[in-house]
Amino acid sequence: MLDNKKILLIVSGGIAAYKCPDLVRRLRQRAARVRCVLTNGGAEFVTPLALGAVSEDKVYQDLFSLTDEDEMGHIRLSREADLVLVAPATANILAKMAHGIADDLASTALMASDKPILCAPAMNVRMWENPATLENLATLAKRGVGFIGPEEGDMACGEWGLGRMSEPDQIADAVEEFFRQELPLNGIRSLVTSGPTLEAIDPVRYLANRSSGKQGHAIATALSRLGAATTLVSGPSHQPDPVGVKMVKVETAVQMLDACESTLPVDVAILAAAVSDWRVETAEISKIKKGSDKKPPALTLVENPDILATLSAVGNARPRLVIGFAAETDDVIANATQKRAKKGCDWIVANDVKPETGTFGGDANTVHLITEDGVEDWPTQSKAAVAERLAERVVETLTATQ
């Protein structure tokens, strides 16, 4: 997600400009803020009204407009953005950029910019292959300008070849990838478990617990927002799937362990699921009926695999950082400290789940982080805030040990 990133979209004069309202829409769907600059050529293919409507912002066109300069100014226009995107980037605007020509608002804003620039070229195949264009591209690439496409295909001029502007979704993907590369957990793989597990008694009944999945889902969201490629293995939960996270939905502890093991190797594993400690030895295939003697059936339980202990001891494939949770109702710190040692994980996030705390199912959590350095008491805060703080600690630790 582009998360309020400010994008200055420069629309220059190629037929592909007709795709720009769609591009603006797709960038905004990913939560970016988009402001458009339209060249005179661009305005032959797409109207300022269309771009203004989809961007919900003023469209800037004229370098010498007193009002525009007063409100914004070409310097601030480019400096206020997090990224300048030129789409379509015609041979002409690329040439101006390469040679430092500033003769309209778009080219002046580009020259005045101290922000990263991405271009999505669009032109006829002969223009793309022209040595002048190739030299301009090489010059711009050397200066750090990034390129998205162009693609090969049919062109508006009837020819076929390289020069079509990439599709709006591809451009939005590339923009997202650009920002992802700047994130502190870019290149890091993370695994999170969340929710309860359900252990079948028969086709209609099961053993479960009160976990809502709120904390685990929030952790997956926080890691992903910091750039980690995140897999969330979750038992049944009503929480929405976090955006940008690979979801693996399971029911039982055994399925959860399988899913976790097939996600390895990862750099960090945070196991927040409330895994059922036991399962019914043999779940009945048919619904258990009340017997004529009215006696309730006896359930034989067997222990489930311990996912946290297993992942903490997988030898070479062990994540660099394994973090467990400890749901406790009594002697929270002492029990959690013991759990850390017993399971062999690096950190334990201990939380008090006595009913009066409202932790299970609630939005807030009071946790204590137990590491090899001791115990940190965190204030009561939302589960999202706990997740963000934990993710920041992961960044500090993984970047310190890289």
Please give the positions annotated as active site. 157
Look at residue 230 and give its three-state secondary structure.
strand
Size of site (CB under 6 A) for ligand CTP: 16
Give the nearest distance from C-beta 392 to ligand CTP in angstroms. Answer: 20
The tokens 């929480």 sit on which residue? 239
Nearer to ligand CTP, 82 or 261 (CB): 261
Residue 273 binds ligand CTP (CB under 6 A): yes
Verify binding: residue 277, ligand CTP, rule CB under 6 A: yes
What tokens were used for 387?
A: 């997740």
Q: How far is the CB of 42 from ligand CTP (least distance, A)?
A: 54
CB of 224: closest distance to ligand CTP in angstroms?
19
Indicate the residue among 98 and 336 with the shorter CB distance to ligand CTP. 336
Distance CA 373, CA 351 (A): 18
- Residues 334-363 as x/- pattern, contact with ligand CTP by CB under 6 A: -----x------------------------
Indicate the DSSP class of residue 64: T
Q: How far apart, in whole angstroms, are the C-alpha atoms of residue 193 and residue 259? A: 10
Nearer to ligand CTP, 40 or 329 (CB): 329
CA angle centred on 399, ends 397 and 402, rounded to 5°: 110
CA dist., res. 170 & res. 181, Å (int): 16
Cβ(207)–Cβ(276) under 8 Å?
yes
Instruction: List the interface residues with ligand CTP, window 187-226 (CB under 6 A).
Output: 193
Can residue 232 be called a binding residue for ligand CTP (CB under 6 A)?
A: no
Of 175 and 307, which CB lies nearer to ligand CTP in the complex structure? 307
When the beta carbons of 193 and 230 are compared against ligand CTP, the nearer one is 193
Q: What is the C-alpha to C-alpha distance for residues 203 and 50, in angstroms, rounded to an integer?
A: 56
Instruction: Specify whether the CB–CB gap between 211 and 239 falls below 8 A.
Output: no
Cβ proximity to ligand CTP: between 319 and 324 the closer is 324
**Residue for token pair 């992903």:** 224
Q: Which residues, other chains included, contact 210 with Cβ-Cβ below 8 Å and sequence gap of 6+?
A: 196, 274, 360, 361
Minimum CB separation from ligand CTP for residue 233, in Å?
A: 11
Task: Judge contact between 165 and 120, C-beta under 8 A.
Answer: yes
Residues 41 and 70: beta-carbon distance below 8 Å? no
| Inter-residue contact 161 to 66 (CB < 8 Å) | no
x/- track of binding to ligand CTP for residues 280-319 (CB under 6 A) = ------------------------x-xxx-----------
Which is nearest to 128 in space by CA: 152, 111, 101? 152
Please name the residue that has the structure tokens 């070849």: 161
Of residues 319-338, which lie at the interface with ligand CTP (CB under 6 A)? 324-327
Our CB check for ligand CTP shows the closer of 228 and 271 to be 271
CB of 399 to ligand CTP, least distance (A): 24
Quick count: other Cβ atoms within 10 Å of Cβ 135? 12
Q: Any contact of residue 54 with ligand CTP (CB under 6 A)?
A: no
Q: Report in angstroms how near the CB of residue 160 gets to ligand CTP at its nearest.
A: 56
Q: What is the DSSP letter of 274?
A: B
Residue 376 beta carbon to ligand CTP: minimum distance, rounded to whole angstroms: 17
Query: Binding ligand CTP by CB under 6 A: which of 117, 165, 172, 253?
Result: 253
Q: Which residues bind ligand CTP (CB under 6 A)?
A: 193, 253, 271, 273-275, 277, 304, 306-308, 324-327, 339
